[in-house]
Structure 1
């Protein structure tokens, strides 16, 4: 096991920490307390992974509650309605167990057609995700349709981001004492024809609808680069897949201005060469961690593990654990351990 206790600076944030400054005003604080009360009074909890705690000790994650409040303009009743529907959805599909026991190869097939983490973060410590539509392999789509015609496993990459990537980035040094609960998404549409976009529209729409309903407020910004000539035509279709709050976070960058726009919030050494940076990372590669991330994840930095990974918060020290199944055998491999100071 690898100790990561020396890799976090004094401003690193524990997963469970809620800073008072997270609320812009007293009304937001009251809305948060009201939502917590509604959940407790109705005994409403998101199901917990058995790896993170016994079901009898289920609690609602404060950061997740705040995300749902943000999505519903701090209306506790509206947030409760969406949160309860999401809890029901998670129980229906047994999401935590499904993630923990996902077939590793099937997981990778789904992950290859979704935004992928570069291993880097922006200037505020928020992970940088990249999606290059022209690199989506027809064979991956064919196999995915064969394995999972209903795309029922489309949530797996979203769980990876929220249960591993963002939680890990929270423990790394960043500019605020707030938990990292969002991601940057660079969407590269260059060299994408209308036929390919049309072939991908079902996947894109389903992923967007799922994210809007069950993973609200997990996006910091969406930067669209290399938009093709037909993009204005499909824009009216694309915006229907997102809620208005997310649509406002979408920035379409004109040709020739991508590097300037992206380096406003991403250091050049953390930006892939494809977008004018110096990071040797291509879509489909494993993450390339920066120095601080590499120190935290230990041997994972040298040999990235495929399949689902879970960040497990524990009072005695958080864990990074590779989970999933391969050839019918369950995987529970501790990759790194974070000791409390």
Structure 2
């Protein structure tokens, strides 16, 4: 890997993207700043940076500011390492759960007039609660990032190689037919917002144009609430359309490439106008996919008060070999998330067996296991269920944890199970709570408060108690920067 210090390599062709890049990077001052950026990145240089357009996407996202671009790229590389993003395409790729393949609507189908791949997503046919109850949040998020990784690192490079065109983005057609109240479900919106933020921070400038068709009357309200999560340049690329959209799509996509259901001529070989061989059309998730605790009859009930932690002590026998003993867990709450970690009681300075994570266990159970290290003596561990971040709300926990001599491979043979590595590769863990971190924790809740406003407005009149509960858990903490 070496840092290429040559002048910025302009993209060829007459596409809108190529013309824009040539126009923006014809400024000698920007080229000079770009060269300085590459020089400053020498200590973290990776092969991706040899493509000037790859770096340009970050440069553009930070308004051609060298310092902010460098910070963004370094954060991106740190995220890739912590999230183990490179592993998603290695060794056969990420193995997506069957329920996601069958019921998470969307798929690539054809190209637009400039050669960009087109992603169609009939979002109104997605069952957000059904999916959330059928796979863990971490698995669902990794499945979305896997598709993004495959698009950026496999699909686009192959298309560039075959066509010689500067293809670095995707055209989106989002169909909101049947979009309704169930899609305004708070946890579902928060999940989508988290994924959008990951894309904004790590895959900038990958949206060419996004056409939102069949938008219902309520959507502008939702869109205005979500706008703060989107970069201003991304907002400009989104076109919200009603039901008279077909000619607009045909202006961007040839009729032979556009599925017939959207106004084009393309069908599957069997004549299906929905092109189901390439696009998943979602639907209600059958309940037999819903995750259940592995040990429902052995769950112990425990109330965890606000700002409190429940601890379970475990003793692990001597282990001549690593992995001879495992700690297995199975827990869920009636509603809401908990902090979770497993630490050594004997050696407080050692690394936690499972590092602290905020686990979403109020929708589907969290089941998993971790192998214990080699030890000549018996060791003691503490399993922590943490609600210290909740300022007002208590939570009802049902759990089962135990030490077993079953091999880790046998324990992980279910869709709901997670190893310590799975938890480490999940979403942002958040800081481990302490008295010194209340302000930062409260600030992190502001995004949830914003998204919760949608659901609160709809449900407050019908369920006043829900309004008060949501206010206490989401809105009140966001004010704590002023009152703590």
The TM tier, using the shorter chain, reads 0.5 to 0.7
How many aligned positions are there? Answer: 256
2:150 to 136, 145, 160: 160
Matched, 1:253 2:244: no
**Contact in 2 for aligned 1:189/1:224 (Cα 8 Å):** yes
Residue of structure 1 in register with 2:197 after alignment: 209
| CA distance, structure 2, for counterparts of residue 153 and residue 254 of structure 1 | 30
- CA apart distance, 1:141: 3.8
**Conserved 8 A contact 2:120-2:173:** yes
Q: What's the counterpart of residue 195 of structure 1?
A: 182
SS at match of 1:285: coil
Q: CA deviation at 1:136?
A: 2.0
Q: CA deviation at 1:235?
A: 1.8
Q: Determine if contact 1:186/1:225 at 8 Å carries over to the other structure.
A: yes
Distance 1:284 1:136, change over 3 A: farther
Aligned-partner SS, 1:69 = helix
* 2:278 is the alignment partner of 1:286: yes
Counterpart-to-counterpart distance in 1, 2:120 and 2:219? 19
Equivalent position to 1:148, from 139, 142, 148: 139
CA separation of 1:94/1:146 partners in 2, compared to 1, >3 Å: closer, same or farther? closer
Gaps of 5+ in 1: 1-16, 49-57, 288-326, 328-341
CA gap of 1:104–1:178, structure 2 versus 1, over 3 A, is same
Q: 1:62 to 1:44 in 2, by over 3 A?
A: same
- Where 1:179 maps in the other structure, the secondary structure is coil
Match of 1:264 among 251, 260, 266: 251
Distance 1:172 1:152, change over 3 A: closer
Are the equivalent residues in 1 in contact too, given 2:116–2:171 (CA < 8 A)? yes
Contact map agreement 1:185 1:221 (CA 8 A) in 2: yes
Q: Give distance in 2, aligned partners of 1:110 and 1:207.
A: 18
The equivalent of 1:14 in structure 2 is none
Tell me the alpha carbon deviations over residues 266-318 of structure 1, each in whole angstroms, 9 at most, x when there is no partner. Answer: 0011111121111125376337xxxxxxxxxxxxxxxxxxxxxxxxxxxxxxx
State which of 177, 189, 207 in structure 2 corresponds to 1:219: 207
Q: How does 1:128-147 map to 2 (within 5 A)?
A: 128-137=118-127, 139-145=130-136
Alpha-carbon distance in 2 for matches of 1:88, 1:232: 35
Secondary structure, aligned partner of 2:252: coil
Report the equivalent of 1:321.
Answer: none
Q: Distance in 1 between matches of 2:31 and 2:184?
A: 43
Question: Cα–Cα, structure 1 residues 240 and 107, in superposed 2: closer, same or farther, change >3 Å?
Answer: farther
Equivalent residue runs for 1:57-206 within 5 Å: 60-101=50-91, 102-106=93-97, 109=100, 113=104, 115-118=106-109, 120-137=110-127, 139-145=130-136, 148=139, 151-173=141-163, 178-198=165-185, 200-206=188-194
Q: What residue is the counterpart of 1:32 in the other structure?
A: 34
Matched, 1:240 2:231: no
TM-score (norm 2): 0.48
Q: Larger C-alpha radius of gyration, 1 or 2?
A: 2
Alpha-carbon distance in structure 1 between the residues aligned to 2:239 and 2:181: 20
> Normalized against structure 1, the TM-score is what?
0.67
Partners in 2 of 1:100 and 1:111 — Cα distance? 23
CA separation of 1:188/1:18 partners in 2, compared to 1, >3 Å: closer, same or farther?
Answer: same
Paired residues of 2:113 and 2:253 also in contact (CA < 8 A): yes
Query: Secondary structure at 2:251's aligned position in 1?
Result: coil
Could you tell me which residue of structure 2 aligns to residue 45 of structure 1?
45
Flag the 1:163–1:38 CA change in 2: closer, same or farther, 3 A: same
Secondary structure of 1:190's aligned partner: coil
Contact 2:99 2:131 in 1 (8 A): no
Q: Is 1:19 paired with 2:22?
A: no
**Alignment-derived partner of residue 338 in structure 2:** none
**Which ranges in structure 2 are unaligned for 5 or more consecutive residues?**
1-7, 13-20, 269-273, 280-412, 414-484
Deviations 1:125-181 (A, max 9, x none): 1111111112324544432337737x35541111011112222221233xxx65210
1 or 2 for the larger relative contact order (CA 8 Å, sep ≥6)?
1
